[in-house]
Amino acid sequence: MNDCIFCKIINGDVPSYKVYEDEFVYSFLDLSQTTLGHTLLIPKKHVKDVFEYDEKLAEAVFGRVPLVANALKQALPDLQGLNIINNNGELAGQSVFHSHIHFIPRYTNSDTFTLKFTDNSSHYQPERLAKLAEEIKNEI
């Protein structure tokens, strides 16, 4: 893809701080550095989001997650935790439309990056959840 910044990084047209590369993936430090060590893992094949993955690509990309995570753990002795995030679609926070996985190291409770899930358990309806689970299961 000609105008994709991540494709340009993979091709060497745009410089990056590469941490890993093989025939399927490319991993590099995110220039935004939400926290020190913020790393991205991207497929070399241009796909917009996880909905465009096939099984082989998913195995290649997601199979490298422990490799990158453990490298960060070893390289960053103060690391206390790690957020691994994959946004799919603009509404989900995706801003670069070449699939990518964020690795965001956590050091203290006061890191500037905040990820908060809202407790919507008051909306818990066993019948609706049972029906939804069945609908999803039928699609698999």
- Strand 39-43 and strand 81-85: pairing? unpaired
Is 102 annotated as catalytic?
Answer: no
Q: How many CA atoms lie within 13 A of 132 on its CB side?
A: 6
Of 38, 46, 98, 100, the active-site residue reads: 100
Closest CA to 49 of 111, 99, 112: 99
The residues annotated with a catalytic role in the active site are 100
